[in-house]
Each structure stands twice: as structure tokens, then as C-alpha cells.
């Protein structure tokens, strides 16, 4: 691209005739109509102002003008549609067009609402609500635009663009139409029925649980033999002062943690296995898992007790354990319940994780295989980070379910095992409330369980956020 050229001493371009005094340029201005058969002799380039219309058969020929001669400067068969316009072409003179484009050789050109170019002179273009461009070779170019875009090139060039107004879809206030104060409450109106149901099923029972835990509420108060009295935190003080409570709490935490780990391990392993087997084995495993998932807890517990029965159970015969009683020992009984809890809980983890793995792009797994990653390395470095939101959800659900397990312990150990050796908090609360008729003490245990579950869940989420994980 060459640099700017020096203008000659004579600004008149070659071949231009002497100035003709008194020469004027006729102009045709039409709004919503057309310009036709307009001619001018001995004048400068004529102007055509057209708004939303078309211009045709308007020509300027054989004329001389101050600053040069005009040849082929014609407006011919140009149709305009709201935004485009006709062309004004001038050689050796000046050209002007509104809503159009102007091309000038050896002079200057200006255009309003479109583009202008000039060779050896200057060019300017301005547009309101649209775009403007100007180019000049050896001169200057200016292109201001309001509400659109502007471009300019030349020896000295300037371009400016300003947006004067927002589109109609986004008013100056920055808010979407129809999203006023009423729009803010629209989502809550749709959620209102579900919130009412949740309030009736969750909020009110929790309120009653907390209220009873602050009262003296035994069988005497239930039958109306004695008035109900407010005890404050006396029930909690009695609960925390009982060594049996702390022993049961420790057993519950350890048992729930083992069940969560076992459920996640089995579920995730089988989910990965489902992606590596053929259709028939995959369908068989899915149906078996769904069958375990659909089995009621009391039915599954009864079946597992029969399978490990010392007299008629097939497990002892296969393992050669004779008449070994699984429910007599504390740890063997917890182990038996552990197997049943994992058996009925892993299908949710397996199905959810398998769905997440199927959503992972195949190129990612293929790249890991090409890099020589093992199954464990692929899971640890590729799948687990990508499936973290899913794993968080199933982990929290497993913590809640396994911490408040009741049916399996109550059915398989006969209400807590021999000498209450297999008690967990849920069974312990049941015994206090219904076996001992200490309803206020049982309610206090329920409140403690609720607080523990909320604390563990919030702590788990906080630790993940502290590591920069996206939830």
C-alpha cells in the first residue's frame, strides 16, 4: 500500500474545462415516489434524494462543472429498498449522494447513509442507524456513524461510531419486556403447589418433632392422665448424658460410612463394566440390578435372613460353615446387614453413573485408550472428574439413606440384636419412643439425627467448594 501522494499545484484535474459561473445543480427530491427523466447541462453532478423509493432514468451528460467535467455520471435503473440507494459516479469533479454511495476520481466524494470513495482527493461518509465507510487514495477519509459501524482508510482517516438507542427488544432500562415486578413472582406461582405439598409433608412434621422434644411427653400425657409441661433442653441434657447414646452414635457413623463406601464402590464398578460388555450381558445385569432396587426393604431383609439361616440357608452349606449363626455375633450381624444394604442401594448409583458415562464424548475415552491408560487410570483421571456432579448427588443420597437405616437392622437382628448390640440411632429412637413410651426423648434423638445429616451434607459441599470443584 503506497503512501500519500502530493497534490499538484493546479487542483484542477486534467481535461477539466474553465469554471462556468452561475452554473447550478438541479436536484430531485422524492419521498415515497420516484425520480425519472431528469437531465442537466452545464451544471455539477445532480443530487437525488430518495427515501424508501426507487430512482430510474436520471442522467447527467455533456456537462461541465466547477472543478472539472462530468462524464458518465448517471443514475440509471437503481432500485432502493428502505436502506440501499442509487450511485453517483463523477470523473474529475465532485459527487454527492444521500442514502447512496459516491465514487469520485480526482476530486472529492461524500455520501450520507452509505459509503464514499475518492482517488486523489477526499472522501466522507456518514450514516445514522446504519453503517458508513470511506476510503481515499492520497487524500483523507472520514466516516462517522451513529447507531452502527464506521470504517475509514486513507492518508488521514477518522472513523467514529456511536450507538444512540437500544433495539426494541431491550429498552434503555436494560430489562426484558414484561419482566417487571409481576414477572419476578411468576416462577414462584408455578412452584406454589409443590411448595405447599412439601410444607405439609416435611416442614410441619419437623416442627412437631422439635416441639415434642422440648416437652414432657410420655404415655401419661398421651392418654390425658397428666398435663403436658415444657421442659426446655432437659431432654437433650438427659440424652447427651447417657453413655448408651454415644455408643449407638459411634456405631451408626461407622456402619453408615461403610455402607456408603461399599455402595459407591459396587455401583461405580458395575457402571464401568456395563460400558465394556455386549448387549445381552448388559441387559441381564441391568434387569438383575433393577430387581434388587424394586424389592421392598422388608422383603429383601427377610430373604437375606433365610439365605444365611444356620439350619436351612444355602449360603452356609456352600461355604461349609455348618450351623454358624450370623445374627448372634455383633460384627457378623452388622456384616450381614451391610451386604443387604449395599445390595438394595447400588442399583441407583450404577444406573446414574452409567448414564453419565454414556454422555461422555467417545473421543475422550478413545484418547485415554490410545495413551495407554488402564481402566483404573481412565476412571480416576478422566471419568471421575467429568462425573463429579453426578457422584456428589448419589453420595449425599447414600449418606442420608444409610445413616437413617431402620428396616434392615430391625428385621435382620430382631430389633437391635442380642443385648442391643446392633443398635443404630433410628432403631434406638424407636425403642425410646415406642418401647419405653418416652416420646419426647425419641423426638430429641430425631432432631439430633436431622442436625447431624444437615451438618455432614453442608460440610461435604463446603470441602468440595474449597478445592475449587464446580457443583
C-alpha pair distances (Å), 155 with each of 10, 79, 120, 132, 134: 20, 33, 10, 18, 12
Q: Cβ(304)–Cβ(292) under 8 Å? A: no
Residue 12 CA: distances (Å) to CA of 69, 137, 246, 394: 10, 17, 106, 85
pTM assigned to the model: 0.59
Tell me what pLDDT residue 469 has. Answer: 55
- What is residue 358's predicted lDDT score, i.e. its pLDDT? 92
Low-confidence ranges of the chain (pLDDT < 50): 1-114, 116-121, 125, 127-131, 134, 136-139, 141, 145-174
Are 405 and 256 in contact, with CB atoms under 8 Å apart? yes
User: Which residues are 95's β-sheet partners?
Assistant: 109
Q: Rg for the chain (alpha carbons), in Å?
A: 43
What tens digit of pLDDT does each residue of 156-195 get?
444 444 333 444 444 444 455 555 566 788 888 999 999 8
Domain boundaries, the chain: 44-162, 196-466
User: The domain at 196-466 falls in which architecture?
Assistant: Orthogonal Bundle (1.10)
> pLDDT, tens digit, for every residue of 387-425?
988 998 899 989 999 999 999 999 999 888 888 889 999
pLDDT of residue 185: 87
- H, E, C per residue of the chain: CCCCCCCCCCCCCCCCCCCCCCCCCCEEEEECCEECCECCCCCCCCEEEEECCEECCEECCCEEECCEEECCCEECCECCCCCCCCEEEEECCEEEEECCEEEEECCEEEEECCEEEEECCEEEEEEECCEEEEEEECCEEEEEEECCEEEEECCEEEEEEECCCCCCCCCCCCCCCCCCHHHHHHHHHHHHHHHHHHHHHHHHHHHHHHHHHCEECEHHHHHCCCCCEECCCHHHHHHHCCHHHHHHHHHHHHHHHHHHHHHHHHHHHHHHHHCCCCHHHHHHHHHHHHHHHHCCHHHHHHHHHHHCCCCCCHHHHHHCCCCCCCCCCHHHHHHHHHHHHHHHHHHHHHHHHHHHHHCCCHHHHHHHHHCCCCHHHHHHHHHHHHCHHHHHHHHHHHHHHHHCCCHHHHHHCCCCCHHHCCCCHHHHHHHHHHHCCEHHHHHHHHHHHHHHHHHHHHHHHHHHHHCCCCC
Amino acid at each position: 500500500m503506497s503512501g500519500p501522494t502530493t497534490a499538484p499545484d493546479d487542483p484542477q484535474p486534467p481535461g477539466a474545462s474553465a469554471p462556468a459561473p452561475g452554473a447550478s445543480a438541479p436536484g430531485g427530491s422524492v419521498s415515497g415516489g420516484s425520480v425519472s427523466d431528469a437531465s442537466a447541462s452545464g451544471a455539477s453532478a445532480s443530487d437525488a434524494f430518495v427515501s424508501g423509493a426507487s430512482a430510474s432514468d436520471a442522467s447527467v451528460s455533456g456537462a461541465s462543472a466547477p472543478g472539472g467535467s462530468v462524464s458518465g455520471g448517471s443514475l440509471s435503473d437503481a432500485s432502493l429498498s428502505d436502506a440501499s440507494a442509487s450511485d453517483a459516479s463523477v470523473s474529475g469533479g465532485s459527487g454527492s449522494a444521500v442514502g447512496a454511495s459516491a465514487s469520485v476520481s480526482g476530486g472529492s466524494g461524500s455520501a450520507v447513509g452509505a459509503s464514499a470513495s475518492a482517488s486523489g482527493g477526499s472522501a466522507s461518509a456518514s450514516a445514522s442507524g446504519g453503517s458508513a465507510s470511506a476510503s481515499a487514495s492520497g487524500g483523507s477519509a472520514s466516516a462517522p456513524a451513529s447507531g452502527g459501524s464506521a470504517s475509514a482508510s486513507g492518508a488521514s482517516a477518522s472513523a467514529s461510531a456511536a450507538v444512540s438507542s437500544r433495539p426494541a427488544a431491550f429498552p434503555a432500562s436494560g430489562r426484558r419486556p414484561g419482566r417487571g415486578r409481576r414477572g419476578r413472582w411468576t416462577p414462584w406461582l408455578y412452584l406454589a403447589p409443590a411448595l405447599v405439598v412439601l410444607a405439609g409433608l416435611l416442614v410441619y412434621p419437623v416442627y412437631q418433632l422439635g416441639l415434642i422434644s422440648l416437652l414432657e411427653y410420655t404415655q401419661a400425657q398421651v392418654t390425658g392422665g397428666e398435663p403436658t409441661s415444657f421442659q426446655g433442653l432437659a431432654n437433650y441434657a438427659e440424652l447427651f448424658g447417657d453413655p448408651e447414646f454415644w455408643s449407638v452414635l459411634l456405631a451408626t457413623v461407622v456402619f453408615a460410612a461403610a455402607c456408603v463406601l461399599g455402595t459407591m464402590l459396587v455401583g461405580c464398578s458395575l457402571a464401568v463394566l456395563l460400558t465394556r460388555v455386549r448387549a445381552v450381558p448388559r441387559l441381564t445385569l441391568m434387569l438383575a440390578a433393577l430387581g434388587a432396587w424394586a424389592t421392598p426393604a422388608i422383603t429383601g431383609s427377610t430373604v437375606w435372613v433365610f439365605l444365611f439361616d444356620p439350619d436351612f440357608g444355602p449360603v452356609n452349606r456352600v461355604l461349609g460353615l455348618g450351623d454358624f449363626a450370623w445374627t448372634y455375633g455383633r460384627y457378623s450381624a452388622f456384616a450381614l446387614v451391610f451386604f443387604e444394604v449395599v445390595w438394595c442401594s447400588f442399583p441407583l448409583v450404577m444406573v446414574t453413573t452409567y448414564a453419565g458415562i454414556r454422555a461422555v464424548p467417545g473421543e475422550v475415552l478413545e484418547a485415554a485408550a490410545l495413551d495407554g491408560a488402564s481402566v483404573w487410570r481412565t476412571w480416576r483421571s478422566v471419568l471421575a472428574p467429568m462425573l463429579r456432579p453426578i457422584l456428589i448427588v448419589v453420595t449425599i443420597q447414600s449418606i442420608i439413606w444409610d445413616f437413617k437405616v431402620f428396616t434392615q437392622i430391625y428385621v435382620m437382628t430382631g430389633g437391635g440384636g442380642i443385648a442391643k448390640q446392633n443398635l443404630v440411632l433410628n432403631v434406638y429412637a424407636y425403642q425410646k419412643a415406642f418401647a419405653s413410651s418416652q416420646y419426647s426423648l425419641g423426638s430429641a434423638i430425631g432432631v439430633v439425627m436431622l442436625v447431624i445429616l444437615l451438618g455432614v451434607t453442608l460440610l461435604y459441599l463446603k470441602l468440595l467448594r474449597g478445592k475449587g470443584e464446580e457443583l
